[in-house]
Structures are given as C-alpha cells and as structure tokens.
Structure 1
Amino acid sequence: MKTISFAAAALSVVLSALPARAGVVITQQQTANLQSGPRQSEQTIMIQGNKQKMVTGEREIITDLDNSVMYLIDPTKSSYFQLPFPPTGPMAQAVAHAAGAMDFKRGTTTRKVLGYSCTDYTGTGQSMSGDFTVTECFSTAAPGAKEFNAFQKAMAAKLKSVVPESNTPDGIPLASESTVHMNTMKLPNLPPEQAQRLQQQLAKMKPVTTKTEVTKLEAKNLPPETFAVPKGFTQRTLGMPPTGQAKAPAPAPSPAK
C-alpha cells in the first residue's frame, strides 16, 4: 500500500511540473480603404491547441479542429449556426471560390512591432475578389508564435481538399498591408452578358487597401468555455429566423491524445 501511495504521489508531482497547454490572444487594429471610404475595426484572435476563436465587432467564430466543427455566433441575438469543418457541399464551393493560394517570398526588410522583431514577406495570388498582393511581417520570437503556427498548419491540413495550399511562413504576422484589384473579380456560373456588365462596373472601382497591425499580444492559458457557445444561446439553421431552434450544447471535450 505504501508503494502504491508513493507512486501516486510521485506521479502527481511529475504532472504538476508539466507546463499547461498554453494559448495566445492576439488583438489587431485594421484600417480598410473601401469604395465607400475608410473603415476601422478591431479583431481579437484566441488560440489554444486545436481551437480558435475570432471576435470581430458583433460577430464571433469558433473553429474546433478536434471535433471538426465551426460555430458562427451572434451575441446580439443570442444565437449561433453550427457548421461542419472543413465545410461541405455549397459552403465548401463558396469557400473554394473565395479563397486563393498565396505565394510568399522572403523580403530584405525587418521591423519591430510591440518590441518584437519580424521579417517582411511579400505574397501574391488570385481569389474570387480579384488579384491581390500582400506584405506581412512574420515573427517567430513573439509570444504564442509556436501555438499560432501549429494551429495554422493543422487548419491548412484540414482544408487541403477545399482550398489551394499556400506556402505561408512560420510565425505570427504582426503587421500586414494588402491590396486587392477588384477589376479582375470572377463570379462562377455568371451568364456572359452579366459577366460583361460586371467587368465594366469593376473597371471603375479603385483597389481596396487594408492595413493591419497587432496592438496587443498575450500568451496565457485560456479556460475551456472560451471555445464554447455560451449557455442559453439558440441554434439556428441557415435561412431560418432565430426562433424555435435547439439550445446551445455543452462544450464538447477534445479527443484524447
């Protein structure tokens, strides 16, 4: 009995010495110059293990790679949509048309954001919105870089059958500037006459430029409820009003590793 008690005590000491699974919280400030004028917004990204939560304005998106599910949450209506991840059917087709592969090349310039060094990479590609170019400053030394990078790779592996693969550099992008030329936008299954009118309209549009910079970066452990639909929220079905649907499920545990 003493031997068993000693072994249990030793095991508890070893387990307590192991580091808890770390998470990262990234706060970004974004300025977009749209056709209607400039617009500023803030976005927060929370990652821990194979789960991510993005908060933008009044919308939240939770991606759970372990359970192959995504939640689109509207806190203003206490409701949410539940979708499979990776997406299937029409949703997968929409994602495939909207996404574009990014070809990154390492630049010669470096910067410091929040005191952390990062290296500029320039990327080009095509998507449904048009041709785009982007310069992103990636840091492998910033807090949470390993956690961020691991999640991005895991998500890309899940999406490999849906979207083109990109050669994204390792690390967290601390700053980025992008330009989208709308005059090359292509919509699938559009009749020739409508496609011609669309191209005529797009030719008059200015490029859309977006500047994003990380304003706060924290590495910390996040509680499980961070990546769960709030209790009492109502599940909706796409195309249906927010009434008469099921209540939010209890947080699903991650599969045992």
Structure 2
Amino acid sequence: MAMSTSDSAIPVEEQAKLVESSKRLAAYQAVKDYLVPTYTRIGIGSGSTVVYVVEAIAALGPGVTSGMTFYPTGAQSEELIEAAGLTLQAINKLPTGQQLDVAFDGADEVDDDLNLIKGGGACLWQEKIVATAAKHFVCVADFRKLSPRLGTSWKKGIPIEVLPMAAPRVLDELKRMGSLNPRVRPGLPGKAGAIVTDNGMWIIDAPFAPLHLPKDSASGVQAGNEDNGVWQVDALADRLIKIPGVAEIGLFYGKNGLEVTAGAQKPVVAYFGMADGTVEKKLAA
C-alpha cells in the first residue's frame, strides 16, 4: 500500500488531501455499484470513510433515498444520517427475520482474503451487529488499509471490547497467547482512565504477529501455536471470543454474504481508493 511517490517526497498537507480524495473516490464507487434504488434498509458504519459514503448517498437525491431507512453503528453515523436528511432507525428496530439490504462500512486493515480489523474508533460491537444483519456487507477504504496479512501495517493491535472488571485477566491471557504488549486503550487527551464504549465497556488493543491465512500452511509455519504467537485469522478469532470477559472482537472473519444467507462478518467486496486516483475493487472469493 505504499504511495506511488515516496511519502517523504510529498508534503504532509498534500498527503492528507490525497488520502481524503482516495476515500471519497472509493465511497462514491461503492455506492454507485451496491446501492440499488429498490433497496429500503441500509446499514451505515463508522469512521472517516463513511462520511463520504453518506455524502454519496445524499447526492442521489430524495427521488432515490426517500424510500430508504438507514441504520447506524453509532453516534457518529447517526449524526451523519440525520445531517444528510435521511431517514434514521436503530438496528434494534429491524423486524425479526428481516435483514438489511446492504451495509457500508470502513476498516482499519483488510487482508488478501477480505478479513478485516475494525474497531479503531471503538465501535466494533455495533459495527459487527450491523454488518451481520445485512445481506451484503460492502467495505470502503483507502489504499493505506490494504495489506497482504492483518497486522502488517495496522500495528496498534486487534481491538477487543471487554468488561472493565475482567481487563487485567484478559490482558494476562493475551500475553500467554503471544500478543505483543496488549494494553487498555486510554481515553481522550486530558481525560483520566480508559476509553469507554457506547456499551460501557473498555477496549484492549492486542498486537499480534501478522495473521496467517489457510494458504500459508504450505510455508510450514505452525499457526495457532501459543508458544510462538503465530496464528491463523479464524483460529485466533475463535480463541479470543472465548476468553471470559471479552464481549466482542475487532476481527471480522469467517464467511461472506455470498457463502451464507445471514450472519456474514466478511464483506462481499472491498473498495480501495488508490494513490493514483483509481479505485481498486477486491471481490470475495
């Protein structure tokens, strides 16, 4: 995901403009391809790229959007939906047995198999609820988020939402599993203590060595071995969610919406705005 020109050769302000432009390009293309005019229930995720997703949807005009209802993953996306004049509804109001037609959300990192790390903004639990409620989950990101393996460029760690009283024990277990200096995420500057999620939980960020994919087994590396801390994505996710005190994890893994009819955590497609002004589209296998 390196820029076509060396980062050091581009002024900081120009780098920032390039990143924002790439997010916008990816968002508009994703909406163009996957927001079918007949859809009525749309999930809206969190993060900086989603700002442009909502912008692209609103640009379609009320002739398209008036019959649509939008389900946010948190306070930020709720505000975006309302500010755009779109119809807002909470995900817990989605009738039993019904699904969202599509959900758009960003990611902190995306690997070759479209596994995701999410939760940099501490909304991972709501994001997973909305994504798994959708028939099709569409990921939108910029070129910096595209990696061969999770943990390659996103070094902050896998976000894990935990019960505060369980945090010390969870940290101990993560270290035994090979996590590299896991820690409770601090609150905002000037605010003492840990960051508190919308659910009253804490976030632990747990760095691991880059996570393997099934095809990596040919390399002879033992994945899922607590002694060397090398894990396959699915094996690590399964182990993390079983730790007592863990509410949810920021690994989106397993099946996609083409493989199962409900509950998919992985996107069916990911759009990346690239540094050269193009949009790269990665489809689920």
Same fold by TM-score greater than 0.5: no
Q: Greater helix percent: which structure?
A: 2
- Place the TM-score, normalised by the shorter chain, in its bin: under 0.3
Q: Greater strand percent: which structure?
A: 1
Q: What is the TM-score of this pair, normalised by structure 2?
A: 0.24
